[in-house]
């Protein structure tokens, strides 16, 4: 009788982990870019009205295309910062930002620096200067891979323990 209750408990525990319906999700890590804007000229501060991140395959950005808004992929701006999330970035980028002073300023062409990139953008009277802020990030793609591997090992250990407990309870019966 005791073995049946253990098996019932085991089956109940396993059923908790089974999904009730099919779930599809895009859960993989995606590269990001964060832009912090600082004003590099005297006068009243300007704020961001809107902006576009252009992606390029060529170093001179002659083939510039705006980052498409698809699923979670997008480029958004606040008053003093912008951020981008994408399935993958092109090797080169350029910003075009409209400011509260009525001017639209373009940046220099810059390269994607890291998986999770941070940039300092200096607002100059007629243009923008984008410089990478190199800072180590905790969650790199390798970190995610190692974390997933550790989770799989943990699940395998739990399954082995459950199998051993079931076999042991059968031998005692």
Most trustworthy range by pLDDT among 15-19, 74-78, 168-172: 74-78
- Residue 105, burial from CB neighbour count under 10 angstroms (0-12, 13-18, 19+): buried
pLDDT of the residue at 168: 85
Q: Are 67 and 54 in contact (CB under 8 A)?
A: yes
**Measured distance CA(11)–CA(20) in Å, rounded:** 15
**Measured distance CA(156)–CA(34) in Å, rounded:** 38
Global pTM reads 0.64
pLDDT of the residue at 120: 96
Instruction: Give the model confidence (pLDDT) of 21-59 as tens digits.
Output: 665 566 778 999 999 999 999 989 999 999 999 999 999
Instruction: Give the model confidence (pLDDT) of 109-119 as tens digits.
Output: 999 888 889 99
């Amino acid at each position: 009788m005791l073995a049946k209750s253990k098996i019932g408990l085991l089956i109940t525990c396993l059923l908790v982990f089974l999904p009730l319906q099919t779930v599809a999700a895009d859960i993989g890590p995606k590269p990001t870019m964060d832009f912090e804007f600082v004003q590099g000229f005297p006068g009243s501060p300007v704020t961001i009205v809107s902006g576009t991140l252009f992606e390029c395959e060529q170093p001179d950005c002659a083939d510039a295309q705006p980052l498409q808004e698809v699923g979670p992929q997008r480029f958004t701006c606040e008053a003093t910062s912008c951020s981008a999330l994408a399935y993958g970035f092109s090797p080169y980028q350029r910003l075009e930002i409209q400011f509260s002073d009525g001017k639209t300023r373009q940046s220099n062409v810059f390269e994607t620096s890291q998986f999770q990139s941070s940039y300092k953008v200096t607002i100059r009277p007629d243009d923008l200067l984008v410089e990478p802020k190199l800072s180590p990030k905790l969650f790199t793609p390798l970190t995610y891979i190692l974390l997933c591997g550790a989770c799989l090992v943990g699940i395998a250990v739990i399954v082995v323990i459950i199998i051993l407990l079931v076999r042991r309870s059968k031998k005692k019966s």
